[in-house]
Amino acid sequence: EIVLTQSPATLSLSPGERATLSCRASQGVDIYLAWYQLKPGQAPRLLIYDASKRASDTPARFSGSGSGTDFTLTISRLEPEDFASYYCQQRARWPENTFGQGTKLEIK
Amino acid sequence: EVQLVQSGAEVKKPGESLKISCKGSGYDFSNYWIAWVRQMPGKGLEWVGIIYPGDSDTRYSPSFQGQVTLSADKSINTAYLHWNTLKASDTGIYYCAREAAVASKWFGPWGQGTLVTVSS
């Protein structure tokens, strides 16, 4: 099974700052990686797929990069609504899918 | 508008059975994979499995194989997650999600989640 390790577990930043979240795969997953946003009491939301493609309703301040084993989700300028948990997910060996353990982005 | 509407919260005892549902609307239900994902209290997301309603092709995460059953009734645009024998460790929020685009194998939109509580 491909294991995804996200870092940091918790990231404390202020609105307007830049956020950088990391996801590392135990084996290469090419570009088959997505990022999801999860807020308490809400449905998860697909933000980024194929490592760098924004989903249709994802704001431009969100960007994804990486390939192989190292991936990054960047939020250029944090808005209040961006404080949430973020999960990466791989599907390199479909139908096997795994999630990372998540990064909680909290207000400093 | 594409929507996935899940059944309501459930409180069950260990050993009981349960089936929760996920009804899709606004699209051709048969042609998109449906995924099920668990979030245990205070924990992250875990992949349960996927089902293709068009032919009921089903794949399970190894952790859930033999523990749950996925099914779908395309005549009423509804997918199901079923337990024969619940355990306390099945407690959590269960989400369904639709494949984002035909053959994309990424998932969104998601249902609102069904909270399952198993307690004696």
Instruction: Look at residue A87 and tell me whether its pLDDT is greater than 90.
Output: yes
pLDDT at position B103 is 83
Q: Label residue B108 by pLDDT band (50, 70, 90).
A: confident
Instruction: Look at residue B105 and tell me whether its pLDDT is greater than 90.
Output: no
β-strands A62-67, A53-54 pairing: unpaired
- Which one of B39, B47, B104 has the shortest CB-CB distance to A98? B47
Cβ–Cβ under 8 Å, residues A36 and A42? no
A46 in B contact zone (CB under 8 Å): yes
- Closest Cα to residue B57, out of B85, B31, B37? B31
Q: Label residue B60 by pLDDT band (50, 70, 90).
A: very high
Average pLDDT over all residues of chain B: 96
Cα–Cα distance, B33 to B71 (Å, whole number): 12
DSSP symbol at A55: P
* Angle B9-B22-A4 from CA coordinates, rounded to 5°: 90
Cα–Cα distance, B56 to B54 (Å, whole number): 6
Chain A interface disruption, residue of B4, B39, B45, most A CBs within 10 A: B45
Residue B19, token pair as written in the block = 């089936």
Cβ–Cβ under 8 Å, residues B9 and B118? no
A94 in B contact zone (CB under 8 Å): yes
